[in-house]
Amino acid sequence: MFVAHIQKMGRYRITLVDDKKQNFTSLADFLGSDDFIVDAVSAESELLEKVRQKQTDLIILPVELQGNNGIDFCHNIKNSKEGKHIFIVLVSKRKEEVSLIQGLESGADDFLFHPIHERVLLSRLKAILKRKSWNVIEERSQSLVIDYDRYLIIAQGKEYYLPKKEFEILSLLNSKPNKVFSRDEIKNAVWENFEKVRGRTVDVHIRKIREKIGESLIATVKGVGYRLEI
């Protein structure tokens, strides 16, 4: 088994399944030089251990495995608790439409045929791995849902009806998650006569919102203002 670690540049962890039928050495070197941590495993048991330990983001898996069918193996990983969020790219030496269809139906995120063109593979991997950050954002955003029709807040699965000003402040923060809104920006957006709003009014409303929906969603940036953390 060969292992290429590029810790300095590595962002995502890619696992190559090299069961002696494949020749992935040059591919590992190529991917390792382009912002990835690359591991190669020679046995399915090693791969399953990486899945169980959540030590990989994406697997490049041959359809033709020794003693097993890569498509079935893909299906098993994708239907496991630990493997459902891991991306899998199947590769096959046989250019058969039925393998392609079965592979994608098994849950594979992409399917390639030999010979593998490294730059084409690289562009596909980067496109697939973009979904990882999108999924993180989507999962985090589900911790806060604003129902504008019912004037309702759903935070971490619980429903809250906030007073008008608190609802409007939270809606403003939610309009640009992670942006820091100054106290003056919040007052200007929420109150008509914002010049008459007392200095600590925004802070008091933020404190009341936090008491209802939890402390973790709204962060304080000292000396500046507040942001919704997503």
**Sequence spans of domains, the chain:** 3-140, 144-228
**pLDDT tens digits, one per residue of 185-194:** 998 888 877 6
Give the best-scoring range by mean pLDDT among 4-8, 30-34, 209-213.
209-213
pTM for this entry: 0.55
- Please give the backbone phi and psi of residue 62, each rounded to the nearest 5 degrees, phi first: -70, 145
* Rounded-to-integer distance, Cα 132 and Cα 138, Å: 10
The answer on pLDDT for 10 being more than 70 is no
* Rounded-to-integer distance, Cα 211 and Cα 160, Å: 11
DSSP state of 191: -
Q: How far is CA 83 from the centre of its chain?
A: 14
Class of domain 144-228: mainly alpha
| pLDDT score, position 181 | 93
Looking at domain 3-140, its CATH architecture is 3-Layer(aba) Sandwich (3.40)
Q: Which residues partner with 90 through β-bridges?
A: 61, 111
How do strand 110-113 and strand 87-92 relate by DSSP bridges?
A: parallel
**pLDDT tens digits, one per residue of 119-166:** 888 888 888 887 665 444 444 445 678 877 677 888 877 888 888 899
**pLDDT tens digits, one per residue of 17-34:** 876 655 667 787 888 777
> Are the CB atoms for 58 and 17 separated by under 8 Å?
no
* Rounded-to-integer distance, Cα 91 and Cα 121, Å: 11
